[in-house]
């Protein structure tokens, strides 16, 4: 019943993703990190090869991969640079709520036109005063006739400067809390969208992250995804899937850190032999590998669950905080193994360690994810068999 072997098609897909990462992403990863470069040419190529909209069904212009396949490809693409990998994969989170809650017509219209271009989408939930407590957002959607007039701002929006499609959350009535929130699909060319500050970050430097302002942005009933007040649930359901994606991303970063460490352990000679012959270094490599195996097994399990149509709120949260804490430890240990040369700017593991930190913060801090998992466990979730 349990079988980790891949079909011929899946193997081909994974090889293609690995070749793409090695051929297109690896050569520019350090430079794009230094310069915070928007990886436009890479996104165009990824689009041509079908890596931009991997899990979006074919009728809406995506590649129609299963969740499991999408997460495997995500690990492979993020191996060489997670910032570029996430610019490629942002539609997974950003179009999630529209895919889950939209009508057939809306999916054809909004997702269908998004997939024609390489500019993808962005997920506009977080606000300066509404981060972990996403339900207290201040961006409002005021109803006038059958139109909605949206005013407010969002922060830390990945791909916010470039996305063709915005998945935007706004409240119709703050007194209703999470039940007042609506989800809107908003094409970029709608009047009333302004890009604010472009963030300068510790890691994930090729990831475009900006502030967005909405000034009398007007949309109609066609743009409302689900019913009025269903937006918060749709956001949480998209995040359930996004959090598994983070686990796959972290597995890619962690595997790269381990591979760099192994190479160093084999070639760096001290006390007359490669440092990998010393037990202290071997123990570190073994711990790193164990955490990677577990992270991979977790995202594979949750991917499988999603493909079976099972809810994964608890398991997604568990996978997210486990894999992100794991990658933080693994990349820190990789810098330790590389020593002084790993700590210097331009070293691969130095970048990986800076990149790892954000994963413990975004798509729900690890404290929030432990809380989500704790609630689920108390409710009897996370029993696979």
Distance CA 51, CA 18 (A): 11
**Which residue of 127, 211, 240, 260 would you call a contact of ligand COS, by CB under 6 A?**
240
Binders of ligand COS in range 287-326 (CB under 6 A): 313
The correct pick among 72, 73, 207, 239 for binding ligand COS (CB under 6 A) is 239
- Residue 362 interacts with ligand COS (CB under 6 A): yes or no: yes
Give the H/E segment covering residue 149: strand 147-158
Helix crossing, 279-307 with 231-267: angle to 10°? 150
Q: What does the DSSP assignment read for 261-282?
A: HHHHHHH-EETTEEGGGSHHHH
Instruction: Select the span of 1-9, 128-136, 182-190, 377-385 touching ligand COS (CB under 6 A).
Output: 128-136
Q: Does 368 bind ligand COS (CB under 6 A)?
A: yes
Q: How far apart are CA 256 and CA 347, in angstroms?
A: 12
| Helix H or strand E segment including 365 | none
Choice between 73 and 137, CB closer to ligand COS: 137
Tokens 């499988």 found at: 304
Q: How far apart are CA 257 and CA 359, in angstroms?
A: 15
List the interface residues with ligand COS, window 161-220 (CB under 6 A): 178-179
**In whole angstroms, how large is the CA radius of gyration of the chain?**
21
Which lies closer to ligand COS via its Cβ, residue 112 or residue 135?
Answer: 135
Total of chain residues touching ligand COS, rule CB under 6 A: 20
Query: Shortest gap between Cβ of 291 and ligand COS (angstroms)?
Result: 23
Stretch of 84-92, 121-129, 201-209, 324-332 contacting ligand COS, by CB under 6 A: 121-129
The least CB distance from residue 201 to ligand COS, in Å, is 13
Reduce the secondary structure of 305-329 to three states and give it as a string: HHHCCCCCHHHHHHHHHHHHHHHHH
| Of the residues 232, 299, 321, 322, which one makes contact with ligand COS according to CB under 6 A | 232
Q: Does 126 bind ligand COS (CB under 6 A)?
A: yes
Which residue reads 């972990």 in tokens?
Answer: 132
Axis crossing angle, helix 40-49 with helix 8-20, rounded to the nearest 10: 170
The answer to whether residue 134 forms part of the interface with ligand COS (CB under 6 A) is yes
Site stretch for ligand COS (CB under 6 A), options 22-30, 39-47, 233-241, 295-303: 233-241
Residue 297: which of 277, 278, 268, 319 has the closest Cα?
Answer: 319
The answer to whether residue 83 forms part of the interface with ligand COS (CB under 6 A) is no
Give yes or no: 350 in active site: no
Measure the CA–CA gap between 126 and 129, rounded to whole angstroms. 8
> What tokens appear for 92 in the block?
């997974």
**Closest separation between CB of residue 18 and ligand COS, Å?**
27
Least separation, in Å, of the C-beta of 77 and ligand COS?
A: 19
Active site residues: 363
Binding region for ligand COS (CB under 6 A): 123, 125-126, 132, 134-135, 178-179, 232-233, 236-237, 239-240, 313, 362-364, 368, 372
């Amino acid at each position: 019943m349990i079988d980790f072997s891949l079909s011929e098609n899946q193997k081909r897909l994974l090889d293609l993703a690995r070749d793409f990462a090695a051929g297109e992403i690896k050569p520019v990863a350090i430079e794009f990190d230094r310069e915070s470069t928007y990886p436009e040419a890479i996104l165009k190529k990824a689009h041509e090869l079908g890596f931009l909209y991997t899990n979006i069904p074919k009728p809406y212009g995506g590649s129609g991969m299963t969740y499991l396949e999408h997460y495997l490809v995500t690990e492979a693409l993020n191996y060489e640079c997670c910032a570029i990998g996430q610019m490629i994969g942002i539609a997974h989170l950003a179009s999630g709520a529209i895919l889950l809650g939209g009508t057939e017509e809306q999916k054809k219209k909004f997702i269908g036109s998004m997939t024609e271009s390489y500019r993808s989408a962005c997920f506009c939930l977080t606000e300066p005063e509404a981060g972990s407590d996403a339900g207290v957002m201040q961006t409002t959607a005021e109803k006038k006739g059958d139109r909605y007039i949206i005013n407010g701002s969002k922060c830390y929006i990945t791909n916010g400067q470039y996305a063709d499609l915005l998945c935007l959350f706004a409240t119709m009535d703050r007194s209703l809390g999470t039940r007042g929130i609506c989800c809107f699909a908003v094409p970029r060319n709608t009047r009333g969208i302004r890009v604010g500050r472009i963030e300068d970050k510790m890691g994930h430097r090729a990831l475009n992250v900006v502030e967005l302002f909405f000034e009398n942005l007007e949309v109609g009933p066609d743009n409302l995804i689900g019913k009025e007040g269903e937006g918060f649930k749709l956001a949480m359901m998209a995040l359930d899937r996004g959090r598994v994606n983070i686990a796959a991303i972290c597995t890619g970063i962690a595997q790269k850190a381990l591979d760099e460490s192994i190479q160093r352990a084999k070639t760096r000679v001290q006390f007359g032999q490669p440092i990998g012959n010393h037990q202290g270094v071997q123990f570190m490599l073994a711990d790193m590998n164990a955490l990677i195996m577990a992270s991979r097994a977790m995202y594979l399990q949750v991917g499988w669950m999603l493909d079976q149509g099972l809810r994964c709120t608890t398991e997604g949260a568990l996978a997210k905080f486990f894999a992100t804490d794991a990658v933080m430890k693994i990349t820190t240990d990789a810098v330790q193994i590389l020593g002084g040369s790993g700590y210097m700017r331009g070293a691969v593991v130095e970048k990986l360690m800076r990149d790892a930190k954000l994963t413990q913060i975004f798509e729900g801090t690890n404290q929030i994810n432990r809380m989500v998992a704790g609630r689920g466990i108390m409710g009897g979730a996370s029993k696979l068999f």
